[in-house]
Amino acid sequence: MAAVLRHFWARTLSSKMLPNKHLSTTPSSDSHEKELVVTEQLGNVMTIGINRPEVRNCVNPATATQLVSAFHKFEQTEDALVAVLHGKGGCFSAGFDLKALSGKQLVPDSYTEPKDGDNAGMGPTRRVFSKPVIAAIDGYAVAGGLELALMCDLRVVEENAVMGVFCRRWGVPLIDGGTVRLPALIGLSRALDLVLTGRPVSAKEALDMGLANRVVATGTALGQAIQLANSIAKFPQACMLADRASCYNTAYDAQSRVDAFQHEWTQGLKVIQSEAVPGATRFAKGAGRHGSFSNINSKL
């Protein structure tokens, strides 16, 4: 079966489905000297680039490991407030590299059971990071590459980019969070449309359905994503991160509407006490249950 999957993978990547205009001619080489994932810090923004353009940035186990390390570095770097994930050479990612599988091994060693750990075949795709991550998408974000894009908070997509569950075409399921994140982002009906058909989704349609957050000119996704990241990094961070965490809690973790409201309230009060505009702490510390936000509003 693995041989069949590899055959379809190779045939698909060389077909009209993924035309060669986005493909680097650099020879394939995953030597120990090569950085499969490259990071760069630009002020408060850290860029994380998948560096296998010769295979359209397909992710093999070594690349997955380096992606996990890169995002760990981002999480541990205090002055890196936003990350931008991108692919080198004109393609975000065409998914998992099935050539990394042996004839008898259908699931790579890099996977763990979700109940046992966060590592997935594509690397960090099961994780929710403590800080915002933006995907800069050019070329193709398909199959596991789509799952990497879904892992991010926002997606800046070039106008000629293509997204989709292309793995549907050769019988490979989404096992890196795609069926969990996609309905949460765009709704069950639209998610099922993509999952059941495996059809390509243009940037414009992705924007219309909420899969893309920005559509930008070809060749500008990375720069536009960095600019967006810088604008996010300028906000008071505790406030922004509390609201972001509440959104994720509501989408994935809250057991009820009341639980969601309680999480928002509890975390919000902490920020009001520590970071909000002068006068807001009076409300948080006991101005009264029916206290007014007039002091806050006067500052807006």
What pLDDT score does 299 carry? 42
Residue 133 DSSP label: E
Backbone phi and psi for residue 216, each to the nearest 5 degrees, phi listed first: -130, 170
Let me know how long the chain is.
300
Q: How many CB atoms lie within 10 A of CB 9?
A: 22
Tens of pLDDT along the chain (300 residues) come to 344 334 334 333 433 345 433 333 233 344 455 799 999 999 999 999 999 999 999 999 899 999 999 999 999 999 999 999 999 999 999 999 878 765 555 555 666 777 777 778 889 999 999 999 999 999 999 999 999 999 999 999 999 999 999 988 888 889 899 999 999 999 999 999 999 999 999 999 999 999 999 999 999 999 999 999 999 999 999 999 999 999 999 999 889 999 999 999 898 888 888 776 654 545 545 544 444 434 434 444
Cα dihedral angle (191, 130, 57, 172), rounded to 10 degrees? -40
User: Model pTM?
Assistant: 0.81
Dist CA 147 CA 173 (whole Å): 11
